[in-house]
Structure 1
Amino acid sequence: MDAEALFRQQCTTALNEDGSANAERLMNLVVETYRLQAGKKRAAEDHSHLLSEENTTLKGSLVATKEDLAEQQRLFGIVLDNLPQGLSVFDTEQRLIVCNTRFRQVFGFSAEAASPGASLKTLISMIRGTERIEKKVSRLRAATEGGHIRHREWIMEDGRTIQSVITVLPDGSNISIHADVTEDRKAAERIAYLAHHDPLTGLPNRISLRERIDAALAACKPDEQIALVHLNLDRFKSINNTLGVSAGDKILRQVAERIRMSAGGNVLARLGSDEFAILQSGRQQPWNVTALADQIRRELSEPFFRGDKAVELSVSMGIAISPQDGIETDTLLKHAGVALSHAKSSGGKGERFFTAKMEAQIEARHTLEADLRKAIEREEFELHYQPLYDLGQQKICGFEALLRWNHPTRGRVPPMEFIPLAEEVGLVVDIGRWVLRRACRDAMDWPEDIKVAVNVSAIQFTNSDLPSDVAASLAEAGLPANRLEIEITESVLMENLDEALPVLHALKQSGIRIGMDDFGTGYSSLSYLRRFPFDKIKIDKSFVNGIVEDKEAFAIMRAIILLGDALGMRVTVEGVETAEQLAMLQREACDEIQGYHISPPRPAVDVPYLLAWPQAHPSARAS
């Protein structure tokens, strides 16, 4: 029985004893009262229990929050002290609130000196260095409107550079990042240096020269002139090929030092490879720049030594003077280059001043280049053939193919005018392929014992697959390889020795004969005979001119013929123009001759007539 039922029973018993008529109503009232009191008691008990639970939960939450804050503070400390940059926070009164270990390390502060509450002014006074920059960079935006960012840079006594980026908040407090940028600055300075200097010689480069010309022209007074000298070492590629690139670089550094001594206070720059430039400002031009050029030529004429080996150099120079040759940097550079081109084309070893006539010649050259490109497309070329005469057999043994250009409006263009241009602009590769194909086709119409000789440019060794071009030409014409003779000049080996030798060996292994043209005109001709087994050496006509009257010229000619015989190489002498020269060469047992005494170059249609002429003596051909 529950408490309520028990209470009802007790009340009923008591009322029955009293005999009251209102006992039932009273009982009900008392029951309701009990219910109310019991409910209140249970509610009170429940509320008390709830408060106890909430108190426990709150205490737990507070403990957990405290632990979280401790963990976050620990993690913040780890992050703060492991930042690669220094971090500092100062309040509105410029007193330190917090900083990390890197901040103290960067500026050399002790933990006591850089502790919370330290004055910014005091810390700055302790920095062992000087402030170089203090600059307002930008305004802050959005929630921090009114603040700004500053950059400060410190040059420390130990040589380090420290950069500070300070974020100043609107209330005057600030947060700063501090970084040691020493290595970054050194790298940036190195990059900037290399962008404006030549790494080999340390001289200003082309970019720097342009800037200095710009500045010189802008500052030039009405009575002053600016001279620009463009220098180029003559035949320097042969030094690299003969001695090696490393030795060539050492010589270039010596060249730069000699020119620097001659240039004095003038601007000297290296434009690349073996090219230099000097910028000279002042009065009394062209006398001053002429004296400068003379001094440079004398300095560079003295031998350079690589170990016990003496190397002799010469230099070509082109000179342009402002204002008469141009008042803009591009114009001055262009005109100095034009003058240099004329100095080089005149044989080098000297200087040329720019003239308006030179510019006209350059324009004509550009026109000629455009015409030459069209000539390749239109096949405006033809081959003429000059006989090679075998002195032992007393008969023509072959022909040298010589290129001719029949321009539709210019007429016959001299080979010495367009072939160097074709080499310079790279067109000689296409022209050379055409010559090979045409010469092989023409030779197929000749007797089987008659060979054809074709000259090959150094450019064809580097900018084309020469063995493939030769093989294709032979296959297309059906010409046997032993009837083709490739003639190269010493320049092929001087400029591209490492690339040329494998090509020459490949050609020789295929059965093609290889001859060295213009033998004796270069200083390394003899050394190349040791590097490659030529089938023939061809003596330049400059040695033939004086052999009748000049005993020394004759002695040289005889020595070369004996050398060729000793090495098992046929010797061809070109430029034979008189019967006296022919007779002397016959007595010396020369193998072949070539020259106007036999015949000038003739068109292909004349070859059958040349072969049909009397064979007994070449003098019959002179008519």
Structure 2
Amino acid sequence: MQLVIATYRGHESDYDAIEKSVETLLKENQSLRGNLSALSQAFDGQKRLFEIVLNDLPLGLSVFDADQRLTLYNSRFHQLFGLTPEDIAAGATITDLLEKMRGRESTVSPGGRRAHRPASAKAGSSRIRRREWQMNDGRIIQSVVTVLSDGSNIAIHADITEDRKAAERITYLAHHDLLTDLPNRIYFREQVDATLAERKPDEQIALIHLNLDRFKSINNTIGVSVGDKILQQVAGRIRTSAGSENTLARLGSDEFAILQTGNRQPRSATALADRIRRALSEPFLHGEKRVELSVSMGIAIAPRDGEETDILLKNAGVALLHAKADGRKRERFFTSEMEAQMQLRHALEADLRAAVEKGEFELHYQPLYDLSKQQICGFEALIRWNHPIRGRVSPMDFIPLAEEVGLIVDIGRWVLRQACSDAAQWPEDIKVAVNVSAIQFSGSDLMQDVSEALAAAALLPSRLELEITESVLMENLSEVLPILHALKERGIRISMDDFGTGYSSLSYLSSFPFDKIKIDKSFVNDIVDNKEAHAIMRAIILLGDALGMRVTVEGVETAAQLGLLECEECDEIQGYHISPPRPVRDVPHLLSMPPKSDGNFS
């Protein structure tokens, strides 16, 4: 017993240690249970968050193992490909899904590569591939697949239908005209480049450059919005005439171009030009508006007129300029002579610019003769160009060129100043008439130019008469009228020149109170022998009288014409029968000479 007691007492301390250890283990176990519970809850939370993120992704997600079996996916995945939850049960293979997919893989990618050989890129030990799917409902699905080293893959899938449509629309707009929906200049050049590159040795290609005649003036008259609708109709008629076998483009504004292939040139191009002309000859209607148009065309044929796009376009443009210069409403084929003439034109333009800088111009003056007073009442200033080498250059040659290249503004400003300066030296009852171009209304401050010219010469505004043609009003009526009213308020007289040569002169007489109308000389030629011409002249004179406007008849060359106009009580005449244009030094002599019985000062 003592031995037992002694043994117990010897191990009593061990029992205490064991009890303490047990208590510690129990506490640690309880702590671990708490940690495990917290971890479990956190894991559940992460799992729920993962499921939310996975299924709310706007992109589809799929994961396939090395055996190409589906192991993970989200709801967007089966929505994109039209698969049901049963179709994508765990373990479904790629082959199974392809058979059930409501679409097919695209055979050609946007860049032109075949889809069964997709673009790929290495990323570390993985490869990235892109594939596209054309769904039965018209959608386009793009997949970016990351293939891992063990053969498994992770893919994201996106609906790119709208992006693709937007990209295609941007590409389309970059190559087409918004107003007419025709190919634009960029696309047309690409087509010409490609056609010339693929041209067979015996093949001929025609390039037709079209331009509507005076459309800018018509557009300004009828309004831009109506003009745009007319252009759409024009494009439709040209498209029908050209046919689907030819390439039609709008180069800009009222310019079009056609690329025609075939071996029957120039016959085919001529036939096409005739069809277009007939198609555009029919009036265009917009509501109650009736618009009549004509077209000029320039034609260049490859390889005869060039085998490069730039050369062919340039030569067609040169031919178009000649068609315009020859009276419009026609086509012209390019010739080598045209090129030589263009070179001469460029040389003339260079000389004209130099003439502006060097002051090679002078003014001649043609008398305006008052029939009731039987005396000169004024002079019209007419510009002359004395070239040091060319000699006298006709205004018919350089004025249109000056208007085209913008030099008419500087020339017109000089004419105003010089005419006012010359007139200041004449008697106070003698006026001076100056022609004003349409370009001067839009390309300069005409009101300021006139004011400065009058101020520099100390000339009364009532002694200055500005002559404008109908084209001035046609260019931009809304812009021109305020300027004309401002000039008239200053006391400057406004005259309509070449009355009767335009198609709407009468309508413009009601839009502005002109002081005078000048009847074009083409109406004077036959008034003595032709009853109809005489009747027209009488009607215009009566019209001017009824409207309170003086009437001047230009181009009077015979005593018989003068006598007839006296009987009709015309206000003024102008022409070679009175006197041709004379240098300014002859004006005092003309004013001092009494006229002969027939009014001739010569």
TM-score by length of 1: 0.87
Q: Which residue of 1 aligns with 2:102?
A: 128
Residues 473, 72 of structure 1: CA spacing in aligned structure 2 closer, same or farther, 3 A cutoff?
farther
Q: Which residue of 2 aligns with 1:104?
A: 78
Residues 72, 329 of structure 1: CA spacing in aligned structure 2 closer, same or farther, 3 A cutoff?
same
Structure 1: tracts of 5 or more residues without a match? 1-36
Please give the root-mean-square deviation of Cα atoms over the aligned residues, in Å: 2.6
The C-alpha deviation readout for 1:285-335, integer Å capped at 9, x for no partner, is: 222222222232233223333345543322211111111111111111111
Equivalent-residue separation in structure 2 for 1:424 and 1:320 (angstroms): 23
Q: Which residue of 1 aligns with 2:193?
A: 214
1:226 aligns with 2:205: yes
Q: How big is the shift at 1:615?
A: 5.3
Equivalent-residue separation in structure 2 for 1:49 and 1:580 (angstroms): 146
Q: Which residue of 1 aligns with 2:295?
A: 315
Q: What does residue range 170-319 of structure 1 map to in structure 2 within 5 Å? A: 170-264=149-243, 265-307=245-287, 309-319=289-299
Retained in 2: the 8 A contact 1:395–1:616? no
1:534 aligns with 2:534: no
Higher Cα radius of gyration: 1
Retained in 2: the 8 A contact 1:136–1:148? no
1:428 aligns with 2:408: yes
Q: Percent identity?
A: 69
Retained in 2: the 8 A contact 1:319–1:354? yes
Q: How big is the shift at 1:590?
A: 1.0
Q: How big is the shift at 1:255?
A: 2.7
Residues 419, 127 of structure 1: CA spacing in aligned structure 2 closer, same or farther, 3 A cutoff?
same
Equivalent-residue separation in structure 1 for 2:511 and 2:394 (angstroms): 34
Retained in 2: the 8 A contact 1:401–1:452? yes
The C-alpha deviation readout for 1:118-143, integer Å capped at 9, x for no partner, is: 322222222111211424323223xx
1:573 corresponds, among 538, 553, 556, to 553
Q: What does residue range 344-383 of structure 1 map to in structure 2 within 5 Å? A: 344-383=324-363
Equivalent-residue separation in structure 2 for 1:82 and 1:345 (angstroms): 70
Residues 348, 113 of structure 1: CA spacing in aligned structure 2 closer, same or farther, 3 A cutoff?
same
Q: Which residue of 1 aligns with 2:47?
A: 73
The DSSP-based 3-state class of the residue aligned with 1:373 is helix
Retained in 1: the 8 A contact 2:130–2:145? yes
Q: How big is the shift at 1:353?
A: 1.0
Residues 509, 49 of structure 1: CA spacing in aligned structure 2 closer, same or farther, 3 A cutoff?
farther
Question: Once structures 1 and 2 are overlaid, which stretch shifts more, 117-126 or 358-367?
Answer: 117-126
1:561 aligns with 2:541: yes
Q: Which residue of 2 aligns with 1:400?
A: 380
1:163 aligns with 2:142: yes
Retained in 2: the 8 A contact 1:485–1:514? yes
1:138 corresponds, among 120, 138, 147, to 120
Q: Which residue of 1 aligns with 2:69?
A: 95
Equivalent-residue separation in structure 2 for 1:130 and 1:493 (angstroms): 64
Counterpart residue type for residue 450 of structure 1 = I
The DSSP-based 3-state class of the residue aligned with 1:406 is strand
Aligned residues: 583
Question: Once structures 1 and 2 are overlaid, which stretch shifts more, 454-463 or 238-247?
Answer: 238-247
Retained in 1: the 8 A contact 2:403–2:439? yes
Counterpart residue type for residue 321 of structure 2 = S
Counterpart residue type for residue 212 of structure 1 = Q
Retained in 2: the 8 A contact 1:489–1:517? yes
Q: How big is the shift at 1:526?
A: 0.3
Q: How big is the shift at 1:393?
A: 1.9
Q: What does residue range 486-505 of structure 1 map to in structure 2 within 5 Å? A: 486-505=466-485
Question: Once structures 1 and 2 are overlaid, which stretch shifts more, 604-613 or 514-523?
Answer: 604-613
Residues 105, 598 of structure 1: CA spacing in aligned structure 2 closer, same or farther, 3 A cutoff?
same
Residues 356, 104 of structure 1: CA spacing in aligned structure 2 closer, same or farther, 3 A cutoff?
same
Retained in 2: the 8 A contact 1:266–1:281? yes
Equivalent-residue separation in structure 2 for 1:367 and 1:68 (angstroms): 89
Question: Once structures 1 and 2 are overlaid, which stretch shifts more, 412-421 or 604-613?
Answer: 604-613
Equivalent-residue separation in structure 1 for 2:361 and 2:17 (angstroms): 121
The DSSP-based 3-state class of the residue aligned with 1:171 is coil
Equivalent-residue separation in structure 2 for 1:162 and 1:69 (angstroms): 34
Q: Which residue of 2 aligns with 1:20?
A: none
Question: Once structures 1 and 2 are overlaid, which stretch shifts more, 479-488 or 73-82?
Answer: 73-82
Q: Which residue of 1 aligns with 2:112?
A: none
Equivalent-residue separation in structure 2 for 1:90 and 1:425 (angstroms): 71
Question: Once structures 1 and 2 are overlaid, which stretch shifts more, 561-570 or 544-553?
Answer: 544-553
Q: Which residue of 1 aligns with 2:8?
A: none
Q: Which residue of 1 aligns with 2:433?
A: 453
Retained in 1: the 8 A contact 2:461–2:492? yes
Residues 66, 316 of structure 1: CA spacing in aligned structure 2 closer, same or farther, 3 A cutoff?
same
Question: Once structures 1 and 2 are overlaid, which stretch shifts more, 489-498 or 204-213?
Answer: 204-213
